[in-house]
């Protein structure tokens, strides 16, 4: 079975991660956890982009060799942030690893042999912030200087003899591909942008640089290093064994993984992924990724959050306060995937308190308290169901189906909303059924047992459906429901069966464990 293969961009190591970077990785992690919980084979790749002038200059400014700088940033910032946000990636690629550099060189040499690469003169503007050759028409004037519209800083003029990739040869093939596969660039706004860019016609691309040496050596020309984007884009394929000899472990991995199912990218790097990258693969005769999904930006004061503009917030600043589950929940719930969104402490605190602490957390603790009080901590069997019970039973099935459809479609906000609305429905059920009042009448104990069963079984479904988003809290909830003894581990619960009623057996030992979402005044 081919793995469901998801990638994040590989991040520049010129600086430490901010929440904009963590956002992409979180989305990839939730997506892959969801697919794993559908019993699929999954491969989730992330990593770091370490070559090029941007990283080289940062290292120089800090008085160290680029490799020393990159090692330090990876060890002290980029690997630790994966733990901070609770990401469960399968691999982490660094573009300075031999496994990557060797495969890039081999692929490039093959493209050269097959006539896709030629020598030429490049002259034009370059933005080191973007690591991109710009067109005059792309630039904006700031105080009389021609500047990159993304970074607002002056561009540099490059004039070099370089190696060129025949990108222009792929204009028609790419248009035809995207006309046949409109799902290959998402959302629709990204698809439209790519199509209108392609319809202007493509120019050949300089894929090497000769004026600095921090990069992968062009295999037939040691005076040049590979252009950082050409090097970086290949990571998605080198990480799983691109072009490895038939019969090797790498070839088997490649067959089991490639093509990528989803490349998650920010909208600023869409064209690299939806134009240059597929053209490189077409030239090499390699299958194209199934989908490039461009998400929006996290904004601060209406502008893209960025370290260079000193607006970056480190993930730990938020997670130390709210926890990783709430971080994962908030960013995927509050911002439609594909659109821009703003972060504010007020909005996050409000949602945390209303939806997590009061909504879900309270429901779980009330359930455990009531089972403790009315049936000695052991879940009793239910009796006949009423109409109100059936609303919950049907509600879980609906929520599970809706969440699955949304998650498969990368509509994280919709998937979370489906479960959140079910949590609200269960809370309403508790309020209306008032089991504490029913319990006053000894003869009505069977009804109390049924109500408690409905609540706990609903929580069983919620734990399964929210596990991809909030694995820590849902692991705790699973333990409090005593579900493992009968149903096995939470990660092994298939989300497609989450809506099937009646899985948590009578006799389950329900305990009041740690508070799932502590009140903010208690953690501040």
Residue 268: CB minimum distance to ligand MSP, A: 5
- What is the closest distance, in whole angstroms, from the C-beta atom of residue 19 to ligand MSP in the complex? 8
Chain centroid to CA 479: 27
Closer to ligand MSP by CB, 122 or 227: give it.
Answer: 227
Contacts of range 247-254, beta carbons closer than 8 Å, 24 or more positions apart: none
Report how far Cα 450 is from the mean position of its chain's Cα atoms.
40
194: its two tokens:
């790519």
Residues paired with residue 146 on neighbouring β-strands, in sequence order? 141
Our CB check for ligand MSP shows the closer of 264 and 363 to be 264
Nearest alpha-carbon partner for 18 in 78, 58, 104, 103: 78
Q: Which is nearer to ligand MSP, 97 or 365 (CB)?
A: 97
- Which CB sits closer to ligand MSP, 212 or 220? 212
Distance CA 308, CA 345 (A): 22
Beta bridge partners of 120: 162
Q: Which is nearer to ligand MSP, 312 or 461 (CB)?
A: 312
What's the burial of 200, exposed, middle or buried (CB within 10 Å: 0-12/13-18/19+)?
A: exposed
Applying CB under 6 A, the residues found at the interface with ligand MSP are 9-12, 20-21, 23-24, 49, 232-233, 235, 265-266, 268-269, 297-298, 304-306
b (16+ CB within 10 A) / e for 455-464:
bbbbbbbbbb
Nearer to ligand MSP, 305 or 419 (CB): 305
Task: State which residue, 155 or 459, has the beta carbon closest to ligand MSP.
Answer: 155
Tokens of 393: 């039973």
Residues with catalytic roles:
18, 21, 127, 130, 148, 151, 304, 307
CB 369 within 8 A of CB 512: yes
Residues 6 or more apart whose Cβ sits within 8 Å of residue 166: 116, 117, 118, 204, 283
Question: Smallest gap, in angstroms, from Cβ of residue 242 to ligand MSP?
Answer: 14
Number of helical H runs and strand E runs in the chain: 23, 18
Of 10 and 498, which CB lies nearer to ligand MSP in the complex structure?
10
Helix intervals (H) in 85-213: 98-113, 171-180, 188-199
CB 263, CB 184: distance < 8 Å: no
Inter-CA distances, 329 with 18, 315, 423, 478, Å: 17, 13, 14, 18
- CB-wise, 22 or 481, nearer to ligand MSP? 22
Nearest C-alpha neighbor of 287 from the set 262, 245, 258: 258
Task: Report the distance separating Cα 320 and Cα 327, nearest Å.
Answer: 10
Please identify the residue of the shown chain whose CB is closest to the bound ligand MSP. Answer: 266
Distance CA 73, CA 67 (A): 10
Query: Do residues 426 and 471 touch, judged by C-beta distance below 8 A?
Result: no
Distance separating the N- and C-terminal Cα atoms of the chain? 47
């Amino acid at each position: 079975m081919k793995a469901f293969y998801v990638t994040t961009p590989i991040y520049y190591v010129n600086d430490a991660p901010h929440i904009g970077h963590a956002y992409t990785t979180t989305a990839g992690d939730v997506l892959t956890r969801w697919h794993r919980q559908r019993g699929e084979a999954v491969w989730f790749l992330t990593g770091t982009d370490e070559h090029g002038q941007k990283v080289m200059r940062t290292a120089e400014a800090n008085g160290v060799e680029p490799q020393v700088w990159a090692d330090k940033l990876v060890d002290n910032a980029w690997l630790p942030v994966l733990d901070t946000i609770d990401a469960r990636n399968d691999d982490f690629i660094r573009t300075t690893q031999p496994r990557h550099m060797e495969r890039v060189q081999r692929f490039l040499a093959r493209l050269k042999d097959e006539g896709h690469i030629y020598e030429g003169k490049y002259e034009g503007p370059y933005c080191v912030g973007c690591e991109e050759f710009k067109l005059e028409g792309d630039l904006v004037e700031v105080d009389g200087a021609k500047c990159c519209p993304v970074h607002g800083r002056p561009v540099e003029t490059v004039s070099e003899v370089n190696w060129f990739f025949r990108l222009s040869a792929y204009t028609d093939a790419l248009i035809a591909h995207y006309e046949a596969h409109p799902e290959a660039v998402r959302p629709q706004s990204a698809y439209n942008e790519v199509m209108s860019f392609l319809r202007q016609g493509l120019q050949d691309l300089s894929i090497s640089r000769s004026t600095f040496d921090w990069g992968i050596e062009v295999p037939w020309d040691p005076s040049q290093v590979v252009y950082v984007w050409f090097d970086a884009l290949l990571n998605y394929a080198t990480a799983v064994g691109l072009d490895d000899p038939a019969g090797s472990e790498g070839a088997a991995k490649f067959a089991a993984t490639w093509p990528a199912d989803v490349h998650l990218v920010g909208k600023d790097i869409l064209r690299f992924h939806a134009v240059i990258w597929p053209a490189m693969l077409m030239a090499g005769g390699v299958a194209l990724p199934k989908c490039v999904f461009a998400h929006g930006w996290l904004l601060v004061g209406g502008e893209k959050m960025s370290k260079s503009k000193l607006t970056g917030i480190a993930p730990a600043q938020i997670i130390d306060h709210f926890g990783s589950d709430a971080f994962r929940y908030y960013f995927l719930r509050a911002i439609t995937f594909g659109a821009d969104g703003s972060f504010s402490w007020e909005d996050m605190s409000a949602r945390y308190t209303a939806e997590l602490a009061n909504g879900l957390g309270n429901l779980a603790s009330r359930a455990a308290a009531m089972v403790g009080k009315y049936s000695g901590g052991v879940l009793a069997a239910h009796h006949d169901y009423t109409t109100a019970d059936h609303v919950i039973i049907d509600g879980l099935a609906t929520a599970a189906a809706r969440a699955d459809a949304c998650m498969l479609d990368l509509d994280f906000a919709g998937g979370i909303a489906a479960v959140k609305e079910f949590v609200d429905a269960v809370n309403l059920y508790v309020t209306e059924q008032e089991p504490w009042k029913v319990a006053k009448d000894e003869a009505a104990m069977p009804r109390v047992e049924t109500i408690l069963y409905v609540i706990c079984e609903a929580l069983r479904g919620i734990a399964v459906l929210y596990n991809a988003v909030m694995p820590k809290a849902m692991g705790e909830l699973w333990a409090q429901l005593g579900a493992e003894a009968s149903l096995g581990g939470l990660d092994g619960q298939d989300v497609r069966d989450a809506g099937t009623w009646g899985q948590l057996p009578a006799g389950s030992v329900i305990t009041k464990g740690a508070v799932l979402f502590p009140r903010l005044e208690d953690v501040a």
